[in-house]
Structure 1
């Protein structure tokens, strides 16, 4: 979704704002803009296109100011034009606003304000906010009171930062969209995500729904909408600023694929003890889930594939579990009660559909738990319990390292759940735990030895790409297809391998490579399905260990090390990530910024 940055301090704000926008561009890159207090009023530059274009424009026509706000947009209301770019102002340009979210009652507000003489110049819902604030200022309200009155009238989801002419103060509010404050001495920052200002400070406070933050050179005040003080503790973010940069890599995606040995090591650190045969997931002692009778996992996109992975592990162990698309939960959720555990899986912890489903589950009496990558995220605060995947910051729009860490955390949770619910573990810990301890090194081996670039080059001119797998290979097939389509723009589909002959086989031609995933579970059946595709002329790429029988019928082979079936799919997934990356690179696609997509979907 969109990215917000704000700065209050003694130094010039422009460099900070532009750096923040560059760091946030993964949240939206249709247009960008900044506004600063220049000593005589508010000065704005904004334009459609990337942040780099805005930066070049500011170099030609410099801005100066110690207080400012900035925004990088992912379009919802109105196309990406100069007029629709943020910040938006009222008619007098005394109020500047940046906004992430959707104002659901903007049409009603716009009609009312237009009747009072306000003229609008954009197609956005955001533009009603500065006009509404100015209306209250015109009626005699002070700046802060006008801001609060305006926010009270807004319906929908929003994160808002506001600046009024002649005042070195930022006003911010949040409802359903993330906002975080950063503090470093006498410098203060406001952003929709920590990476925006991480190189300046790692000390943060997270706003919660209904919060208002007033930031000026003297500090930060947190209140509710009525003006009553609320406590928001300062926390230290355990992220290295270098993690949010590309370093020597051409793309964040490749960097984050290569970071998986480290992210997986962080995920399991202190949580497994192969010598004792023990799993110790912090905060979840034996008996934690003994009252649970069924599990629902809710998520979207890549996180849904991880949720499906976790549900299959639980079902195989005898715990009733279902993975459900969070954006369909309101219309097709199965019944829940106090014995239902609903697990929300979200990399950012801010995914709007997942948060909505989580709220619904809570209202219906379910116990809730969040699996996320972000400390202090809305999902982590909203759920009864949370588990961090510890993958470190992920900037590339196409999720990579977070998928593997989510799947591992869900496997660790599955151990605790099955021990509590059915009295058994879902796997043989004597073999599983040593294999899990080896997983980071095995991923590193795959990265070092992968033949994915050659295979991507060989099949680059084909028409469609199928990915098949059985059991735990099925969510990996779905994830492989998703990665391929979202960054190459080529048609790709993932299937449970047995479903090929129930329709999709009609689409198979010699121009339809089939990537077949072999995990060590039901491999003979997957092999039979791959052979069916091969006899119709489709080239088959087998993802399996060396010496596997699939290599005898396959046209190409992506090797994975021998391991437990519960982990083999995660190694296969790394190979498929590399295939997608190299295919997109060969096609010249904007890999980190695929068209029409943004990293965190914070509106439904």
Structure 2
């Protein structure tokens, strides 16, 4: 959701801010704006629409912006108030000498707004964020001896909710005040210049040295340095982190869309997940991030996995894998529901939270609830230094590299591969011998090459997409390890093509969904050769008898399936537990091609945000 950029240094600020906002477009937004400080002059430009549109307007006023070497910028994803010029950020106070940009939600904004209106303040937008700039202004007026930092700190003590906040003022043009509670912020450290952003994408081309703010921290950033304090005004010692990805990783690299690039990166991603963790020649598996806690994990009475969206589908596979390999009971919870149902977890339980960004608001709330109840909490995420990485007892990075496309693809694959290795680690000394574990690891090591072979079917899958792009509904069916893949395939299609799609366990088809099947209903069936193969063939027959149009994902060499279906996409042979790393790939490509053929923006689908940092 929403993107933040900021700059203070020696370079002209407006081109840097606009370029930074473009780097954040993948997060999803509906309006954009910038505020520039040039001595005692504070200039704000904002509008509904794209960053490119904003950039064209700034060119008209370029002369007035020259010399401004500090500023802040924002892309907004509407929560309170429709997308419009007035609701776009930055927001100004009445005097026009304080500007703020804000990610998150102010839960008590209505009460604060009423108090400010009673003090004579007028509101120009329908946003909750505008409350903040007027509140800072009011506090500063009560005590003119305060500075911007103190007025902001005092204002935030009155705020309930989540925020990632940047504040500037022409009264103090040499600083940017930033604060964080629930919405990520990172400070990039350059040579005589500093960069601020809601994630590292706008920063990496300028510097790899960054500091991540924690919840409840406020920083003052000047050209000469920065200082981080708690909301209680206690100075905090921060660790400088080195970013682990390059600018090339966030460029399209010749692909038409980021999503397609990320689908094609999956062979490399699986290899990177294993790098340094698996040595087949020596027959070992070592997950360094949990090595000191492995015995505690193995002794867990129960494991609970919390996640949202695509990560929740990976979590379901984690349940299947851990129970299959290690025989430890596992439950999977929607993180968004976990804390609201007073969950029964305690000191004997382990809670695993999964998030690509490491900043998902609902997943962070589940993490904190589990910790409060005494459970050991472990994290799986992709972003080094993210909040989940900092707040969990132990965990593992997926090392998938930055994922720009809103619809997750390579992050899912990395999470599943990570859970596969976790399940094997938990099985060691419990249920599996070293030789059995090595066999499974050997099969995992073959996945990159097998995924590469599936990617060679891209043109065939595009032809199938052309035949089915005008369908109104899709049904996805799978059994066993392929059931979560059916859910994920349906999610990918609905996310980026806006076609209604549902995933089901194939056996559940007779318990309702079969009523929907007719000659206009494409049914995608995951029909790989495993212990449910005969049952899946029966499901195909049931769909055919009702004139449903069957597209099958099948194992190479299976001629029986081809006689029963309209289309078949063949994937390499693999054992059941590892099959999802293969079956998901053609479903990603099919969704991608259907969406592009329908003219949809696959990298930034409507109404969706990449990182959901508010409830």
For residues 425 and 410 of structure 1, what CA distance do their matches in structure 2 show?
Answer: 19
For residues 37 and 324 of structure 2, what CA distance do their matches in structure 1 show?
Answer: 61
2:555 alignment partner, one of 533, 545, 553:
545
1:165 alignment counterpart: 170
2:70 alignment partner, one of 67, 70, 75:
67
Pair 1:425–1:483, CA change in 2 (3 A): farther
SS at match of 1:412: helix
For residues 433 and 71 of structure 2, what CA distance do their matches in structure 1 show?
Answer: 55
Alignment of structure 1 residues 3-402 onto 2, 5 Å: 3-62=3-62, 63-64=65-66, 65-139=68-142, 140=144, 141-166=146-171, 167-285=173-291, 287-317=295-325, 318-332=327-341, 334-402=343-411
For residues 306 and 226 of structure 2, what CA distance do their matches in structure 1 show?
Answer: 36
For residues 322 and 357 of structure 2, what CA distance do their matches in structure 1 show?
Answer: 24
For residues 46 and 107 of structure 1, what CA distance do their matches in structure 2 show?
Answer: 24
SS at match of 2:287: coil
- TM-superposed CA distance for 1:529, in Å, is 1.1
Is the Cα–Cα contact under 8 Å of residues 431 and 564 in structure 1 kept in the other structure? no
- TM-superposed CA distance for 1:281, in Å, is 1.1
Pair 1:430–1:227, CA change in 2 (3 A): closer
1:571 alignment partner, one of 577, 582, 591:
582
Is the Cα–Cα contact under 8 Å of residues 284 and 416 in structure 1 kept in the other structure? no
- TM-superposed CA distance for 1:423, in Å, is 3.9
Is the Cα–Cα contact under 8 Å of residues 97 and 130 in structure 1 kept in the other structure? yes
Structure 2 unaligned regions, length at least 5: none
1:475 alignment counterpart: 484
For residues 521 and 310 of structure 1, what CA distance do their matches in structure 2 show?
Answer: 19
Residue by residue over 1:291-341, the C-alpha shift from the partner in whole angstroms, topping out at 9 and shown as x without a partner, is: 311111000000000000100112223210011111111234641111111
- TM-superposed CA distance for 1:380, in Å, is 1.1
Residue by residue over 1:544-581, the C-alpha shift from the partner in whole angstroms, topping out at 9 and shown as x without a partner, is: 22222322312111111112222222111010000000
Asked if 1:593 is matched to 2:598, the reply is no
Asked if 1:530 is matched to 2:535, the reply is no
For residues 426 and 530 of structure 1, what CA distance do their matches in structure 2 show?
Answer: 39
- TM-superposed CA distance for 1:444, in Å, is 1.1
Is the Cα–Cα contact under 8 Å of residues 353 and 380 in structure 2 kept in the other structure? yes
Is the Cα–Cα contact under 8 Å of residues 313 and 426 in structure 1 kept in the other structure? no
Question: What is the aligned residue count?
Answer: 603
1:485 alignment partner, one of 476, 487, 494:
494
Residue by residue over 1:129-157, the C-alpha shift from the partner in whole angstroms, topping out at 9 and shown as x without a partner, is: 11111112212222221111111111111
For residues 7 and 495 of structure 1, what CA distance do their matches in structure 2 show?
Answer: 48
Larger mean CA deviation between 177-186 and 557-566 belongs to 557-566
Is the Cα–Cα contact under 8 Å of residues 8 and 68 in structure 1 kept in the other structure? yes
Residue by residue over 1:261-318, the C-alpha shift from the partner in whole angstroms, topping out at 9 and shown as x without a partner, is: 1111111112122233321111433524233111110000000000001001122232
Is the Cα–Cα contact under 8 Å of residues 415 and 425 in structure 1 kept in the other structure? no
Asked if 1:557 is matched to 2:563, the reply is no
Residue by residue over 1:153-195, the C-alpha shift from the partner in whole angstroms, topping out at 9 and shown as x without a partner, is: 1111111000011422000100111000001111101110000
For residues 18 and 250 of structure 2, what CA distance do their matches in structure 1 show?
Answer: 15
For residues 275 and 37 of structure 1, what CA distance do their matches in structure 2 show?
Answer: 59
RMSD between superposed Cα atoms in Å: 1.5
Is the Cα–Cα contact under 8 Å of residues 344 and 371 in structure 1 kept in the other structure? yes
Residue by residue over 1:339-381, the C-alpha shift from the partner in whole angstroms, topping out at 9 and shown as x without a partner, is: 1110001000100011111111110111100100011111111
Is the Cα–Cα contact under 8 Å of residues 162 and 183 in structure 2 kept in the other structure? yes
2:593 alignment counterpart: 582
For residues 594 and 28 of structure 1, what CA distance do their matches in structure 2 show?
Answer: 8
**TM-score of the superposed pair, with normalisation by structure 1:** 0.98
Asked if 1:511 is matched to 2:514, the reply is no
For residues 251 and 333 of structure 1, what CA distance do their matches in structure 2 show?
Answer: 42
**TM-score of the superposed pair, with normalisation by structure 2:** 0.96
Pair 1:94–1:320, CA change in 2 (3 A): same
Structure 1 unaligned regions, length at least 5: none
Query: Where does structure 1 differ by over 6 angstroms across 4 or more consecutive aligned residues?
Result: none
